[in-house]
Structures are given as structure tokens and as C-alpha cells.
Structure 1
Amino acid sequence: MEHNLRVMADQPERCRLMRLAAVSKLGALAFLGATEIGVPFVRMIILTRVLGPYEFGFAAALSATYGAVEQITDTSLYRFVLAMPREQYREALATAHGIALMRGVIVAALFLALSYPVSCGMVSCGDWSSFAWLATLPLIKSFENLELKIQERDYRYKLQLIASLVAHGCGIAAMLAVGVWTRTHEAVIAYLIVQAVANVALTHLLASVPFRVVLRGALTKGALQYSLPLMANGLGNAIMTQGDRLLVGALLGLETLGLYAVVILTSYVPTSGLFRLLGPVQMAGLVNAADRPDVYAARLRLYARAVPMVAAAYALGWEVLAKSFLPAIFGQRFVASDLTILLVGLIVYLRVCRQEPMTAILLQTGGTGRLAVANQMPMLGLALGALLMWLQPQLESLLAGMVVGEIVALVVALRIVCGSLGTMWRDAIVASVSLAVLPLVVGVLFEAVEMFDPLLPRLAVGCGCAVVLVAAGVAVLFSPVREAYRSPPPSEMQLRRKQAAE
């Protein structure tokens, strides 16, 4: 009897500790996502204030080249380890490290091979050595201990957050020092190298599992089969996030590329932080509910409805703030037209909707090949945008083509995951299509009516849309949230313990 009373008395304390632990984990993930968004802003603010228009465009060209090659060759090896059974964890981790080292050597060679032609196409042939410096980065990063990322399986993000903050802090300090000293694009090279070295060092210091490499183990074939299709997936992502910059630099010049880089920073780049928040939560949610079909289905329904709402809120925030925000933060030479703001708002909305929860579903089920196919669709939009930009050399031409590409990509993504979503497929379609009306109507309103040029009228419209989104969220998400995250039924062992206590 005393034992039962003691257990009952401890129950509220246990619940309180569990809630605190959940809040702590969620807070670490939120800060990690905020870091992914905040660091590029800080970096861009420094560069726009320290570098002139040409050198800033040169720095943007370097960043675009590095980002494109990294994304095209990204194998997401840590996700292979995350998806493996826990009893194979150490072997899978060592195998991933071995493949990462091989990738680093290959990508470094690719950077060296591309440095001269890319420099000739975007800047001048004499500046090829600046692009060749990028070859050091994949070699450095190939020694990263992936354990910190694997901890996402257990909703643990704190060590990854520490490594990210310290590494980015060191990189920004190096960039600021070199930028003030030289006033050249070398500031970006210094940032990238110092940040990579610091991050690798911290992953080794904070990891509990030693860095071990297996090049020809039992899991090597499975790791390659899982990760190689993701290189094609990376090609699609690179086209979306970097290919357009390369086109702008080649066709419209470095100064226009500088303006476009700021537009990208404030619109596309923060979505990486958004995906950093959505991706791990959805992936862990699906992995941990794989043996509970009813909970798994409820989580799919929740994600299919919630992600378009997040996408709409994000796109509306961009449309409301962009016109006043860009020149105020980065300088008066960075002013985007209302049509540019409208088109970019639609692109970011469609991009978020086509990537999640589709990416989490396909990664959790091992459908990396299908994911790669879906992410090639933006190529059509980029090709159309390049044609339109050749006919009418302006940013809006490129953006119009990219909107078409994102629509096609969303349709293909929904078709690919139709079988995995089941009846939730309808939820995804209805949510994605209906919520697209908000950024479309608001963008057209701002572009057509001059009275909405000042910030205050735009804020008023944004607040009205926020009320609509909150009301819709309460109406359609309350029930799925309750079903998706209800407590699991007691296990057989727990039932025996309860019977013994009674």
C-alpha cells in the first residue's frame, strides 16, 4: 500500500520532468533552426556594408558555386545511419564516415576541375584561384563525426546546436577581420574555411562515439544504395537554390547578382532553417510511430495539413516585410519590385509545400530514388526562366519561369507519395491548393494598389491574414494533434508491474 502511494505521489513529478525535457529538446531544435536563418543574415549584413557592389557580387558567385556543388554531391549519410536498427548503429556510423571521406576527395577534385571554367564564365579567367580554394572545404568536412546529427533520432539537438553556434561564430569573426582588412571577396573564403575547421573539431570533442572509418564493410552497399540517389535529389535542390544565381550572374552581371543574392537570403535561405525544424520533427515522428499504424496515419494527416499553413504564413511574412526590410537592413541599393516580391512569395510557398512532408515520408520509407525524381522538376522552371530572361533580361523573367517549375514539382511530389499518404493525400491537396490563395491575392494586391506601398498598410493586411490562418489552424489541426501524439498503450511489462503492485 505504501509503495502504491509513493508511486502515485511521484507521478506528477515525473510528468513535470518529462514536460521540461520535451520543452528543452524543442527549444534546442528551435534555436538550431534560428541559427540556420540568423547566420546568413548576419553574414550578408556584414558583406553588404564592407564590400563594394562588384566584390559583393564576386562573393555571391563564390557562395553560389560552393552551394551548388555541395548540394549536388550531398548524400545525407547521417540519415542512412538514423534509419538503421539501433543494434547496427556503430557499424553504420563507421560506414557512413568511410563513404564521407571518399566523397570529400571526389568533390575536392570536382571543385578544382570547375574552378577555371566557372571563373571565366562568371568573373574573369584570372580569378580562378579564388574558386580553387573551395576545394579545401569538402576535404575538411569529410572528417566530421556524424554522431551529433544522429542524435536527432532521440530528439536530442543540444550538442549539435553548440557546435553550430561556436563554428559559425568563429567563421563570422574571421570573415569580419579579413573583410575589413582586404575589402575583397576573400572574406567569404575565410569564413567558409574557418567555420568548417571549427565544426569538424567540435563534432569530435562533443561526440561520445569515437570517429571510426569502414570503407568495405557489410553495410557499404546498403549505404550507397540509400545515399547515391540523394545526389540526384541534391541536383534538384541545387538548381532551385543555386542554379538561378549562377544564371543571373552569367546573364545579368555581378551587380544584379548582388541584389538577387539579398532577395534569396531573405526569402529562400530562411526556408533551410524552417526545414531544419520541420524535417527532424516529422522524420522522428514517423520513425517512432512506424509500429503504431493509427498514430502513424494521424501524424501523416497532421503534417499534410500543417505544412501548407506554415508555408502560407512564411510567404505572407516575406510579402509584407520585403519592400521596407531590404533597403533598411542592407542599404538603399537593394530594392525589389512588387512583382518580384509577389513571384518570390509564390515560389517559397510552393517550395515548402512540395518538400514537406513528402521528403520525410520518402526518407523514412527508403524511397530516396522517388525523392530524387521529384526534386528534378524545378529544372523545367529554371530552363523556362532562362529562356524568358534571354528574351527579356530582368529578374522577373527568371522568377516567372521558376513559379511554373515549382507548380509542376508540387504536382509530381504529390503524385509520388500518393500511395504512402493513403487517404491523407486528399488533405495534402486541399491544404496546398486552398492556402495558396493567400500569398497570391496579397501579392497581387500589393503590386496593383499603390496605397499599400508603405509598411503600415502592409502590416495591417498581414495581421488580417494571420487571424485567418490561426482560426483555420485551430479548426483543422486540433483533432489530428490530439490523435497523433496521444500516449502509447501500456506495454505488457508495465501491465505486469501494475498487477504486482496491486
Structure 2
Amino acid sequence: MLLVIHHDRTRRLLPICRQYDCAIGAGDGGCAGGCGTLSTRLRGAPSGGGLLMKKHSLKSGSVLLTANLAEMAFPFIRNVLLSRLLSQENFGVAVSLAMISAMIEIGFDFGIPVSAVRYTASDDPKKVLPTLQTLQLSRAVLAGALIMAMAPVLAIIFKSPHATWAYVAIGACSILRGFGNLGVKQAMRDFIYWPNSLTIILTQLAWTVTVVVAAWISPDYWVMAWGLLASVVASVITSHMLSRFSWRLGWHKAVANEATSFGKPLVPNGWVSAGLTLGDRAFIGWALGVHALAFYSVIFGTATLPRGAILRFLTSLFVPVFVDRPPDHPSVKKNCARWTLVLSLTAFLYAMGFIFAGTPLLPLLFGKTYAATPYLMSLIGLNLFVKFLYQLPSPVALAQGRSKLMLTCTVFSIIALGIGAAATLVVPSIDVFVLALTAAEIIAVLRIGMIAINTLGYSRGQVWLALLGPMAAIAVALAASLIFPAPPLLDWLLLGGALTSGGLIFYVVMAHVFIDPLKPALLRQAVSGLLNRRAVVVSEEP
């Protein structure tokens, strides 16, 4: 998510950091990245010339990249190992524990880590941090108390009354999280990223090691509670050790007023984000039980885990080219065409890789219990493609401050989730849920495409080709999975290779038509150079 900030008559973009990383305990997916992606461009860049700035950017980027990779890799590792060490029922309950903790934390997101970077009421961190830490602890107590009070109800919702005390323990972990030192966040204000990144990495490491060891000793759902506790303790201790300022509570009215004014609008947005990110899993757990939740979390969690990081990278790459450009600027239309091509191509390759490579690989990683049919994998692949294309208006809308367009996409997502849930109540099945959800989201993304064409200047022909062409290729895979429910692996992979190759040719033609015409002379030169290089290599062989 991005907030547009007007500062010195210049639009600056600040990725909003989530208080809690929602790559939830069992590696259930969600939005990895969290606080590691926080930008501090609210202040001036370090002085010292272009070379120094370049080195600084590379160093900062590598540190943040490492933290983001940790937030993707460790949840995936937890997912794989716990699916092997726990029974499906225990794994489902464990997922529900982490999921509830994540939903409450995201819902109560108050933007406090961001306030630790962006504060303006006082330039003295010794005044700012105690106030923010008081707010953080108050928020943590509220969130934790809510989970503890709801524990009996949550156990009933997920049909696991025996796990009531485990939900209570999750609430206690939320309270302990409030004792973290915000100094590691404040350091990013001065372009010091490594304390926060190291805190993230050690938190994920402690979580993963603890759940695996606990599952080895006593393989039940309590391993998730122990893992969450270890992650919180690691986060709190590391943040205290790496912070430049000691942890203490205090109150500065101006700082508190600024932080609450900034944070209040984030709370409703946080609950919407929690519902969109984890609402499908919560519904599956309630409607179909923890066995289905475990299965769905493995399949869909694996499918969506890298998606958020990819979208953040692509968006951050393209947003700057639209900033401070009026809608009628000559470069806007060309960059819209480039963005459409890159987004659609990325989504297509991502979906095809999941459908055809994921079908044989998931059972190898997670066990035969979590083997999905080619039909379900194709449905999820189509859903992944559509979810990528939801972001079609994002760079232009964010750069031009058209937040209502982003709200429209959110509303469409909520409606689609409701349609999927309603269909599942009629026919209780994961396949039915994904089918109804995907059908609704296809209609929604077509509407989003029309909005991008009519209001943002996207090319009508390219948008429809970028949407419908890849969906047609995925539909071929879907049809093949219906005609041949259990195709031989080689045939399935050959079909995937053929469809992917055809898709790449399709995108080359799209680039030729809508971006830059391919020049035959340059193509012949490239082919000739490749052949000449190959001839030289062959002639040098003994």
C-alpha cells in the first residue's frame, strides 16, 4: 500500500509498513515484506555526491532485500516442515492460531512504526519514542485482550474447543509484542536499515527453529503458540539490543496527537486489508473445518507467498515514471503500455509456472495429503493471474493521487470474496469456492480494465489483449484438466511448455504493436551475432 505525501510541493511515496508481518506462522502466505520495505524519503538524502548516494542506495537495497527474502523464505520453510511433522488436523489448528493473531494485528494497525520514522512534532527522538512506545503498548494490550476474550468463540468457530487455551496464549503473545523498542524503526529515519532488518531476520529464524523443534518433540498445534512466543521474545530482545535509545514509556501531547491523527485512518483500512488477505482462510476454516484449512493454506499460501513482493517491486519501479506527469504528458501513454505489458507478462509466467510446475512439486514438498488436482491448480493459476491484473491502474492512480480507484479495486475484491463464500455455503467444497471467487474476480478485473481505459488513458486494444489473451491460454489448461483429470506428467509439462511458448510469442507481438516496432534489421543482426558466436565456440573445441 502506498500513501501519497505532499512535501515541499513534491509528491513523495511512502510504503506503509504493517505493524505485524502477515506471512503467518505456518508459512501461509499473505503479504511478506512488512517493516523491511519502509522508505524514509520524507527527509533529504545523505549528502556526499552521486557516487556516495549510489553506494548508499545499493547497500540499503541489499539490506532490505535480505530482510524481505527472509520474510518469504522462512514462512515457506515452516509450511513445508510442519506439513510433514503434524497431522492435517493439528496443522489446520496451528494455521488458525497464527491466522487469528495476524488478522487482529493487521486490523489494529495504527501506523506506529511509520510514525517513528515520519514524526515532525518534535525532532528529539527522546521525546518522540517514549510516547510512541506508550501508544504501541496500549495497542498491544487492547489487541491481546481481545484475542484472549474471544478465545472460546474462536475455538468454536474453528471446531476446535480443545484449543481454547492455545488461542489465549496467542493473545498473550500479542501483549508481549508491545514491549518492542521502536528505536530500530527510528534508525531508518537516518538511513540506518540494518538494525530493523536484522530484527526481522532473527524473529523469523527464532519462529522457524522453535516450531520445528517443538513439532519434533510434541507434534501438535501448540507448536505454533511456542513459535509465536519465541518470535516475539526474539523481536523484543533484538530491538532492545540494537536500538540507540533505551526503552521507556512517556507522554508528549503533540507527538501523541500527530501519531493518532496519522494512525486513525489506517485502522479501517487495516481491517479491510486483514479481511482481503486472510478472510478466505478464516472462512474456509469456519465453513469446511481445520482439515480443509490446512489443505487450502498449503496450496493457496504457496501460490501467493511471492506475489506480494513481486507486485511491490514492480509498482515501486513504475510509480516514479508517472509522478509529476500530467495525464496528457506524451510519456504517460507510452509508460502505460509498458506497465500493461510487464504486469500481464509477469502474471502469465507466474500463473503458468504454478499450474504446470506446482502440480508435481507440491506433493513432493508437502506430502501426498496436500496434492491438488490439475483442475484446482489451473483454477488457482487463473485466480493468480487475475489478482495480478487487479493492479493495472495502480502506478498511474497512485502517482496522480486518485485513491478512489484503489478503493474501487478493494470493493471488487470484497464482493468477489462474498460471492465465493456464498457459493461454498451452497456446495461445501474448496473447488467451488475457488471457482466462484475466480469467476467473480474475472468480471471485476474486466471492469477495472474499462476504468483504466476510460479514466487513465490506457490503450483499449492492449488492455483487452493483455487480459483476455493470457486468460485464454490458462483456460486451455483448465479445459485439459477437465477432459483428462489425471494426465501423465510428461504430457502435462509438454502442454505447459507449448502454452508458455505461445504466450511469449503473443507478448512479443504485443510489444511490437503497442510499444516499439521490432526492426527486422536489428533482429537479423542479433541472430547473426548469436550464430557467429556459436560458430567460434564450436571451432575452438578440440
Q: Give the TM-score, by structure 2 length.
A: 0.71
Q: 2:83 aligned to 22, 44, 48, which one? A: 48
Residue 322 of structure 1: aligned partner? 358
- How far apart are residue 193 of structure 1 and its match? 1.3
1:115-153 deviations in Å (ceiling 9; x for gaps): 101101213323211111111222222233445456667
Q: Which runs of 5+ in 2 are unaligned?
A: 1-47, 517-542
- How many Å separate the matches in 2 of 1:176 and 1:375? 36
Q: For residues 329-388 of structure 1, what are the alpha-carbon distances to aligned partners after superposition, in whole Å with 9 as ceiling and x for unaligned?
A: 111121223332233223333434435874996699696x98667535433222211221
Q: Deviations over 1:148-178 (max 9, x none)?
A: 4566678764433322222211221111111
Q: Which residue pairs with 2:33 in the alignment? A: none
Q: For 2:141 and 2:161, how far apart are their aligned partners in 1?
A: 25
1:383 corresponds to which letter in structure 2?
A: G
Aligned to 1:125: 161
Q: Shift in Å at residue 187 of structure 1?
A: 1.3
1:201-220 matched pairs, under 5 angstroms: 201-211=237-247, 213=249, 215=251, 217-220=253-256
Counterpart CA distance in 2 for 1:384 and 1:251 is: 14
Contact 1:290–1:296 (8 Å) recurs in 2 = no
Letter in 1 for 2:96: A
**Counterpart residue identity of residue 47, structure 1:** L
| Corresponding residue of 2:493 | 456
Q: Which residue of structure 1 aligns with residue 102 of structure 2?
A: 67
Q: 1:331 to 1:79 in 2, by over 3 A?
A: same
Structure 1 residues 362 and 74: alpha-carbon distance in aligned structure 2, compared to 1, 3 A threshold: farther
Residue in structure 2 matched with residue 245 of structure 1 by the alignment = 281
- What whole-Å deviation, never above 9, does each CA across 1:168-217 have from its counterpart, x for those lacking one? 11221111111011110111111111112212222233333554655452
1:1-400 mapped onto 2 (5 Å cutoff): 18-82=53-117, 88=123, 90=125, 95-149=131-185, 157-211=193-247, 213=249, 215=251, 217-275=253-311, 277=313, 306-354=342-390, 358=394, 375-400=410-435
SS at match of 1:218: helix
Greater RCO, 1 or 2 (C-alpha within 8 Å, sep 6+):
1
Give % identity: 20
1:59-100 per-residue CA deviation (whole Å, 9 max, x = no partner) reads 122222222222222233334455556975846655543332
Q: Distance in 2 between matches of 1:309 and 1:157?
A: 32
Question: Greater CA deviation, 334-343 or 431-440?
Answer: 431-440
The partner residue of 1:441 within 429, 452, 472 is 472
Are 2:470 and 2:503, in contact at CA under 8 Å, matched by a contact in 1? no
Maintained 8 Å contact 1:358/1:413? no
Contact in 1 for aligned 2:177/2:236 (Cα 8 Å): yes
CA contact (8 A) 2:324 2:399 kept: no
**1:6-55 deviation digits (Å, cap 9, x = unpaired):** xxxxxxx9766654443333333333332222112100111011111221
Distance in 1 of aligned mates of 2:271 and 2:445: 17
Q: Give the partner amino acid of 2:493.
A: L
**Any conservation in 2 of the 1:312–1:436 contact (CA below 8 Å)?**
no
Superimposed CA distance per residue, residues 219-278 of structure 1 (whole angstroms, 9 cap, x where no aligned partner)? 433433332232222222222232222222222222222110111221123334335645
One-letter amino acid of the structure 1 residue matched with residue 259 of structure 2: A
Matched to 1:56, the amino acid is F
CA separation of 1:336 and 1:240: change in aligned 2, threshold 3 A: farther
Hey, what's the Cα distance between the residues in 2 that align with 1:411 and 1:95?
Answer: 47
3-state SS in 1 of match to 2:109: coil
SS at match of 2:370: coil
The amino acid that maps onto 2:458 is D
Are 1:94 and 1:211, in contact at CA under 8 Å, matched by a contact in 2? yes
Q: Is the 8 A contact 1:108 1:137 kept in 2?
A: yes
The aligned runs of 1:399-418 (5 Å cut-off) are 399-404=434-439, 406=441
Q: CA RMSD in A?
A: 4.3
Contact 1:316/1:439 (<8 A) preserved: no
Q: How far, CA to CA, are the matches of 2:115 and 2:339 in structure 1?
A: 22
Q: Give the aligned partner of residue 9 of structure 1.
A: none
Gap change, CA 1:93 and 1:249, over 3 Å in 2:
same
C-alpha separation between the residues in 1 aligned to 2:101 and 2:225? Answer: 10
Distance 1:435 1:373, change over 3 A: closer
CA distance in structure 1 between the aligned counterparts of 2:332 and 2:255, rounded to whole angstroms: 31
Structure 1 gap ranges (5+): 1-12, 479-502
Structure 1 residues 427 and 298: alpha-carbon distance in aligned structure 2, compared to 1, 3 A threshold? closer
How far apart, in 2, do the equivalents of 1:475 and 1:211 lie? 59
- How many residue pairs match? The answer is 460
Partner of 1:113, secondary structure, is helix
User: 1:111: Cα distance to partner?
Assistant: 0.2
Question: What TM-score results when the alignment is normalised by the length of structure 1?
Answer: 0.76
User: Quick check: 2:393–2:405 contact (8 Å CA) kept in 1?
Assistant: no
Equivalent residue, structure 2, for 1:493: none
Q: Residues 297-318 of structure 1: CA distance to partner in whole angstroms, max 9, x if unpaired?
A: 7998576765454444433332
Structure 2 CA distance for partners of 1:334 and 1:155, relative to 1, 3 Å: farther
Q: For residue 444 of structure 1, what is the amino acid of its counterpart?
A: A
Q: Deviation of residue 395 (structure 1)?
A: 0.9
State whether residues 206 and 230 of structure 2, in contact with CA within 8 Å, keep that contact through their aligned partners in structure 1. yes
